[in-house]
Amino acid sequence: MQIGFIGTGVMGGGMARCLIEGGFDLVVHDAYREATTSLQAMGAKWGANPREVAEQCDLTITSLPGPAEAEAVFYQQPNGILAGLKPGHTYLDTSTSSPALARRIATACREKGGHFLDAPVSGRPPKMSIMVGGEPEVLDRYRPALQAMSRDIFYFGDNGQGMVAKSINQFLMYANIILASEGLLLAAKAGLDPELVAQMLSVSGASRFFPKDIFENIVFPRNWERVPAGPGPLDRWVKDVGCAQETALAINAHTPLLTIVQDTLKRAQAQGWGDLVNFVGVRAQEQAAGVELRGKGAPGA
């Protein structure tokens, strides 16, 4: 089986390496060719554009920042994946994208005799989780490739459902951060030491829900700048939670907490913090509360 892989950044590069180490033959492409250098050194071939990758492969996988990039790589003419898709070919997108876009892409693939799996991921390869939507028999056909990159594979049903599951994961992760921040800001306003409260929470009944590492390593020391292989940017979380909102609106779901989470993220984004680490959304809560969760050892403390 020859597999195409498009988007070989931090996440995509790690997944592609897992596939090569698992014995799969790869054709790789990235907007920055240098991002594929190490993969080519491992034996991967270079594809000049997404169409050329799809033409050479049975399965094409993408790992891209979001819906805009996924749509462009698939539909662009004359060199998108769709242009190179042949009958029987499967396109699998691991990006966190829009459920509606996933369904449109699935329809376009079927019209050319191909298949589509939306398969967004959480965590890092090879121990990440994959959430899949699409035809179950197609998933079974390519399950060995997914197993080479991941620890857990969850099948959720028709196309788009994998994207829905991933957006819910992202929403709940950030909702937990906002909830914990609100509690610590309440503590600070009441005159308690928020770092001491955090220590208490990490060993008390709330320990299962309190994100101790995020506060110790990012919030208290004010480490808002992104680092390689660290948490993604705030802009990406606004996009991810927006996908959850898209689903909620489409099915008329009552999700007041989802609205609060996205409002908090967008207030932070409006401050120009979109390129900073995603947890910088806490600063929007601090502004509203009129107090900071600045640790004793942080700059300016």
* Element holding 6 (H helix, E strand): strand 2-6
Q: Residue 43, SS3?
A: coil
User: From CA 270, how far away is CA 206, in angstroms rounded?
Assistant: 32
Percent of the chain with pLDDT over 70: 100
Return the number of other C-beta atoms located less than 10 Å from residue 72's C-beta.
12
126 and 187 share one domain: no
Q: pLDDT digits over 150-159, tens only? A: 999 999 999 9
109 and 47 share one domain: yes
36 and 137 share one domain: yes
126 and 50 share one domain: yes
155 and 187 share one domain: no
Quote the tokens at residue 243: 């996908």
User: From CA 90, how far away is CA 236, in angstroms rounded?
Assistant: 26
Mind telling me the catalytic residues? 166
The pLDDT value recorded for residue 145 is: 98
Which alpha helices (DSSP H) does 29-89 contain, by range? 37-41, 50-56, 67-75, 81-84
121 and 196 share one domain: no
Residue 285 lies in a domain: yes
Report whether pLDDT(133) > 90.
yes
pLDDT, mean of residues 262-291: 97
User: From CA 260, how far away is CA 93, in angstroms rounded?
Assistant: 29
pLDDT, mean of residues 4-18: 97
Which structural domain, as residue segments, surrounds residue 284?
A: 165-289
Q: Is the pTM here over 0.85, yes or no?
A: yes
The pLDDT value recorded for residue 125 is: 97
User: Do residues 268 and 181 lie in contact, with contact meaning Cβ atoms separated by under 8 Å?
Assistant: no
Report whether pLDDT(252) > 90.
yes
Report whether pLDDT(170) > 80.
yes
User: From CA 290, how far away is CA 8, in angstroms rounded?
Assistant: 42
Q: pLDDT digits over 171-193, tens only? A: 999 999 999 999 999 999 999 99
